[in-house]
Structure 1
Amino acid sequence: MENKIIARTLRLLGQLMELHDENPFKVKSIANAAFKIDKLPYPIAGKSLTEMEQIDGLGKSTASKVWALVQTNSIPELSDLLAQTPSGIVEMMRIKGLGPKKIVVIWKELEIENVGELYYACNENRLIEAKGFGLKTQEEIKKAIEFSMASSGRFIYARIEHFAEGLLQELQRQFRTDQVYVVGQYRRRCEIIDSLDILTSYSLTNDIKQLLENAGLNPGSFINNAIECEAEIGIKVNLIFCTSENIGWQKILHTGNNDHVDELALKLVNTDVSGKSEYEIYALAGIPFIEPELREGLNEFPLAAANKLPDLISYTDLKGTLHNHSTWSDGVHSLEEMAVFCRDELKLAYLGICDHSKSAFYANGLNEIRVAAQQREIEELNIKLAPFYIFKGIESDILYDGSLDYSSDVLASFDFVVASVHSILKMTEDKATERLIKAVENPFTTILGHPTGRLLLSRGGYPINHRKVIDACAANNVIIEINANPLRLDLDWRWQQYAIEKGVLLSINPDAHRKEGFYDMHYGTLIARKGGVSRNNCLNAMDLDQIKTLFTKKRS
């Protein structure tokens, strides 16, 4: 066993001892021993217990721990502490800038138990007011987590978008052609991107590797008309070459998943597609053009054959934004700042403010007195900012028994209620489904917020029976949120079409905690397009009068 491994194990022991508030002198002794062992010019594993005890900075107690580690590959005290500590907390200790004191606050006060929850908390600014933290520390932690996530080679769409669009432009410049296209997962707007696939009709030349290096790529070997490259940010980039005459079919071939391409190919047997555009090739197959987002081999071909492909929603279809937070709970900007930004910068007609309810104490949730005060401010702002309109909303916690957070009298004071689960996320499918359905059946629930609580690449959502929950929303006239935060994108696009078939409206909600968070509606729109959502299926594609009527009807 190498000295570095022994030192690393002792450091973990010391951190856990500090985390669990053990004697600070013992903690310091373990930390000092770890430092000493890491710097030894010889392997300590080859020493006897007596020899270990003589090493400066160890002593009998620590030496016995090192001896146990070398002989049994474990330290009893460490095993005991690990058993008392959630695995996600141990993982947090690897994040640069997070020591035991800060982790105690995160774990015990903010009730965050894994890196995924911590990353989302950074996005919601929950760390800013916590003891020992601040905006700068929060941003440093967020960047450290993003770096760690990138090292896995998988990226959420939003993290790769800027790089992908910049790389596309740079390759067009290097190749001196505009026939460079991003295909694959990125073009289908998948929520998780494993690799960037780029198609080009550029003719291969001897200087291709140099051109790719100029574009910031590290090219590998050339196999089957493709070069696999690595980008500095950690994602794999596949560069695929083809002739100009074949570009239409190649775009189809490398955009759709295997099921989609195979089914289309069957419709094109013995058909010459050379020189044809994508639109022309789908026409040759006897079907309308299928948008890239829909090419997943699900129900797109039956819809195309019946001429029922959805007219996919676009960002410009959105007339307002619902489910947002202000400084009344855990937001960065004031209610007026959020409203003015929506009106003047985004040119929207309305804002739905949904600060956290009283059970969300970690997010400065509103008690009944503060609810009334916020509603008075909204009434004043609606006079001041007219015709722009602010709806009185709340993100009401769904409690463990499925009830909502507040009495009926308080819930009745809101224009609309977003009901969401934020606590006790470890549930069986039956319990989670029962909990959501009970909340959906509450007559005050307008929108079901982020239905599974998932955090992409960080935390799987609690398991639910999607069909039962969606059916309950249909029966109770409850809208389902497509949470546009790129870490959530929940409701999952795979269930959006089922909701539409059941007549359930969907709402693209940014869950913004600062002005810049409104821009996440872009990602919500992309994932809604992937789910086959049109403006007719989307709540906040309604104009102000329409949505006022809908909320009034629901409340009555």
Structure 2
Amino acid sequence: MDNKAIAREFKLLSQLLEFHGENSFKIRAIATVADKLRKLPFDITSKTHEELSEVPGIGKSSALKIKEILDNGSLKELEDLIQQSPPGIIALLKIKGIGPKKLAVIWQELGIDNLGELWYACKDDKISKLKGFGQKTQDELKSIVEFTMENQDKFRYADIEPFANDILHSLKKHLKEESLVSFTGPLRRCCEILETIDILASSTKDELIKWVNQSNIITDIKESDNQLQGTHQSGIKTIIHCSNKESFYARLIETTGNENHLKGLEEKLNIEIPSLESEEAIYKKAGLSFIPPELREGLNEIELASQNNIPKLIEYSDFKGSLHNHSLWSDGVFSIEDMAIYSRDILKLEYFGISDHSKTAVYANGLSTDRVIAQWKEIDSLNKKLAPFKILKGIESDILSNGSLDYPNEILAEFDFVVASIHAQLSMDEKKATTRLIKAIENPYTTILGHPTGRQLLVRRGYPIDHKKVIDACAANDVIIEINANPLRLDIDWRWVPYCLEKGVTLSINPDAHHASELNYLRYGQLVARKGGLSAENCLNCLSLEKIELQLKARKDKNQGI
């Protein structure tokens, strides 16, 4: 078990203790440990019980629980609570926005422990009549339940990718060396939300069945003419498509692109997709330049390819720096120096932008003005030590309810860059949210608009915004739009990247890293940026250190009237 898995055990323990009305002090203590474990800068398994006991925020009692989990794979106290709980409660506790106390009331008063019954109770106006609830709470609960039901059996790309790689590796190992094997379908298109893992193999169905039976990775197998369908251990539906070697690339195109893409391709070919020696050869026969898998969404890629105008999509190697990152100064796990050194030595970047939370974000240990000035002094010292590598001074400034930023202008003016983001008061209609964002965009000190909709994939909807008005405002005010690369966000949605490019808006792919390893989130941002047709020339953090410093300074001088 890794740190996050153990943290999940502690979190569930705290939730079930609260559901069963246990001591509030114990509940808070267990929840605090769960949060602490999630943020530890080292692997729990690398420490002895005694060493863990000495870690602030863990202590002897929790260290014993951790040891029990590592030794036995489970925690008896947690297992006992699970046995005492209604069957469906564990699943409901995973839903963000429905707390253990509310669930306890709903269970005790209405005997409800599953999503379907909870939705009907909201629909029939039973929840609002419970003590401590009311109409507003019922409406919010109904919206949360509907969102959860809509997204059942869906998974984030980043969560499924390691499982998909395991399947692909196992299959390649089993098949003959000359066999062709590839991801296909939405997974190959790098879609941010997946319902299936699709793999194509040049193999007979009998050979694939033999692999399935030997590997035990996929269960509940169903056969059809040219594929096997089953369920992976993670719960995601898995489809293994089969073909002969001669038709592999035709089948790869057929199984990769969506319906509209294939319809457009077949119209260009004026025949069925032919069996040729490569995908490139098939697109060439259709009079098209090669279309990368990420773009095969049935939008305008066929037209672009017919004019030889497919953009040169951004590559991971194009990144020169990483902006929008957090450190121990706010709610990050590592020091600025550790994050910078990881960026320099592991990711081979030229610069690192720190943008800890601002003073309004008290929940995230946001920086007061005095602490900002102290952080600047640390950065100045580190820049002397780490040169020619450079740490850029930034901040993630909260956009307040009226659209203003939460530092005085004289402080904002001294940052190299300012990421403006909404973190609080998220319940807004489209007009309110759009107006709030545009007010922040018009602030001359705003450099980058951070995660514009505040969405969390499969967790919560973003607040509604008029994307065109927001993008137009960024174009008018020379504000860069973030593609937040955290796989939980991937915000701005890639579908709006073409409109950003049309309006001349630069994008910045930002990991929003709170841990050194999360700097690798750059890759997930790069994948969805490719889906939107982004090239390195339109991405801020693909600029060299020299060029980004010149651009940031020129922008500050222009917007501040210097």
Bin the TM-score by the shorter chain: 0.7 to 0.9
Find the counterpart in structure 1 of residue 167 from structure 2: 167
Closer, same or farther: CA 19–444 of 1 in aligned 2, 3 Å:
farther
Cα displacement (A) at 1:221: 2.2
Equivalent pair of 1:398/1:420 in contact (CA under 8 Å): yes
Equivalent pair of 2:127/2:138 in contact (CA under 8 Å): no
Closer, same or farther: CA 477–69 of 1 in aligned 2, 3 Å:
closer
Find the counterpart in structure 2 of residue 210 from structure 1: 210
Find the counterpart in structure 2 of residue 480 from structure 1: 481
Cα displacement (A) at 1:181: 1.2
Amino acid in structure 2 at the alignment position of 1:260 = H
Q: Does 1:354 align with 2:355?
A: yes
Closer, same or farther: CA 68–171 of 1 in aligned 2, 3 Å:
closer
Find the counterpart in structure 1 of residue 202 from structure 2: 201
What does 1:306-325 align with in structure 2 at a 5 Å threshold?
306-325=307-326
Distance 1:542 1:390 in 2: 15
Find the counterpart in structure 1 of residue 332 from structure 2: 331
Amino acid in structure 2 at the alignment position of 1:369 = D
Closer, same or farther: CA 173–364 of 1 in aligned 2, 3 Å:
same
Closer, same or farther: CA 390–37 of 1 in aligned 2, 3 Å:
closer
Find the counterpart in structure 2 of residue 79 from structure 1: 130
Closer, same or farther: CA 379–68 of 1 in aligned 2, 3 Å:
closer
Equivalent pair of 1:507/1:539 in contact (CA under 8 Å): yes
Cα displacement (A) at 1:255: 0.3
Closer, same or farther: CA 380–79 of 1 in aligned 2, 3 Å:
same
Find the counterpart in structure 1 of residue 243 from structure 2: 242
Equivalent pair of 2:322/2:353 in contact (CA under 8 Å): yes
Distance 1:409 1:294 in 2: 44
What does 1:393-542 align with in structure 2 at a 5 Å threshold?
393-542=394-543
Distance 1:67 1:413 in 2: 56
Q: Does 1:278 align with 2:329?
A: no
Closer, same or farther: CA 355–441 of 1 in aligned 2, 3 Å:
same
Find the counterpart in structure 2 of residue 153 from structure 1: 153
Distance 1:309 1:451 in 2: 27
Cα displacement (A) at 1:484: 0.5
Provide the secondary structure at the position in 2 that maps to 1:391: strand
Cα displacement (A) at 1:83: 3.5
What does 1:47-66 align with in structure 2 at a 5 Å threshold?
none
Cα displacement (A) at 1:514: 1.1
Q: Deviations over 1:421-461 (max 9, x none)?
A: 00011111111111111110100000000011000011111
Amino acid in structure 2 at the alignment position of 1:176 = K
Distance 1:414 1:200 in 2: 53
Distance 1:66 1:299 in 2: 54
What does 1:28-177 align with in structure 2 at a 5 Å threshold?
79-83=130-134, 86=137, 152-177=152-177
Equivalent pair of 2:326/2:514 in contact (CA under 8 Å): yes
Amino acid in structure 1 at the alignment position of 2:130 = S
Distance 1:67 1:161 in 2: 42
Closer, same or farther: CA 539–175 of 1 in aligned 2, 3 Å:
same
Equivalent pair of 1:321/1:510 in contact (CA under 8 Å): yes
Closer, same or farther: CA 406–232 of 1 in aligned 2, 3 Å:
same
Cα displacement (A) at 1:370: 0.4
Find the counterpart in structure 1 of residue 550 from structure 2: 549
Closer, same or farther: CA 14–420 of 1 in aligned 2, 3 Å:
closer
Provide the secondary structure at the position in 2 that maps to 1:453: coil
Equivalent pair of 2:273/2:282 in contact (CA under 8 Å): no
Q: Which has the larger radius of gyration?
A: 1
Q: Does 1:382 align with 2:433?
A: no
Equivalent pair of 2:182/2:200 in contact (CA under 8 Å): yes
Closer, same or farther: CA 315–36 of 1 in aligned 2, 3 Å:
closer
Closer, same or farther: CA 379–264 of 1 in aligned 2, 3 Å:
same
Provide the secondary structure at the position in 1 that maps to 2:353: strand
Cα displacement (A) at 1:304: 1.4
Cα displacement (A) at 1:67: 10
Equivalent pair of 2:482/2:508 in contact (CA under 8 Å): yes
Amino acid in structure 2 at the alignment position of 1:280 = A
Equivalent pair of 1:324/1:354 in contact (CA under 8 Å): yes
Closer, same or farther: CA 485–12 of 1 in aligned 2, 3 Å:
closer
Distance 1:536 1:36 in 2: 58
Distance 1:431 1:67 in 2: 37
Closer, same or farther: CA 193–87 of 1 in aligned 2, 3 Å:
farther
Closer, same or farther: CA 510–87 of 1 in aligned 2, 3 Å:
farther
Query: With structure 1 as the length reference, what TM-score do the two structures score?
Result: 0.75
Provide the secondary structure at the position in 2 that maps to 1:354: strand
Equivalent pair of 2:128/2:138 in contact (CA under 8 Å): no
Closer, same or farther: CA 521–13 of 1 in aligned 2, 3 Å:
closer
Distance 1:13 1:165 in 2: 37
Provide the secondary structure at the position in 2 that maps to 1:241: strand
Equivalent pair of 1:213/1:219 in contact (CA under 8 Å): no
Distance 2:240 2:384 in 1: 56
Provide the secondary structure at the position in 1 that maps to 2:261: helix
Closer, same or farther: CA 291–88 of 1 in aligned 2, 3 Å:
farther
Cα displacement (A) at 1:165: 1.3
Q: Deviations over 1:10-51 (max 9, x none)?
A: x99994978999xxxxxxxxxxxx99999xxxxxxxxxxxxx
Equivalent pair of 1:16/1:81 in contact (CA under 8 Å): no
Q: Deviations over 1:349-388 (max 9, x none)?
A: 1011000000000000001100100011111111111001
Cα displacement (A) at 1:69: 7.3
Distance 1:513 1:399 in 2: 22
Equivalent pair of 1:13/1:78 in contact (CA under 8 Å): no
Amino acid in structure 2 at the alignment position of 1:502 = K
Provide the secondary structure at the position in 2 that maps to 1:355: strand
- Name the % identity: 49
Indicate the RMSD between aligned Cα atoms, in angstroms: 3.3
Find the counterpart in structure 1 of residue 365 from structure 2: 364
Cα displacement (A) at 1:154: 1.5
Closer, same or farther: CA 414–35 of 1 in aligned 2, 3 Å:
closer
Provide the secondary structure at the position in 1 that maps to 2:231: strand
Provide the secondary structure at the position in 2 that maps to 1:395: strand
Cα displacement (A) at 1:208: 3.9
Cα displacement (A) at 1:275: 3.1
Structure 1 unaligned spans of 5+: 1-10, 22-33, 39-64, 92-112, 116-147
Cα displacement (A) at 1:82: 4.1
Closer, same or farther: CA 521–36 of 1 in aligned 2, 3 Å:
closer
Greater CA drift, 296-305 or 490-499 = 296-305
Cα displacement (A) at 1:248: 1.3
Equivalent pair of 1:312/1:532 in contact (CA under 8 Å): yes
Cα displacement (A) at 1:211: 1.4
Find the counterpart in structure 2 of residue 61 from structure 1: none
Closer, same or farther: CA 84–379 of 1 in aligned 2, 3 Å:
farther
Distance 1:234 1:81 in 2: 36
Equivalent pair of 1:353/1:393 in contact (CA under 8 Å): yes
Distance 1:288 1:232 in 2: 39
Amino acid in structure 1 at the alignment position of 2:323 = L
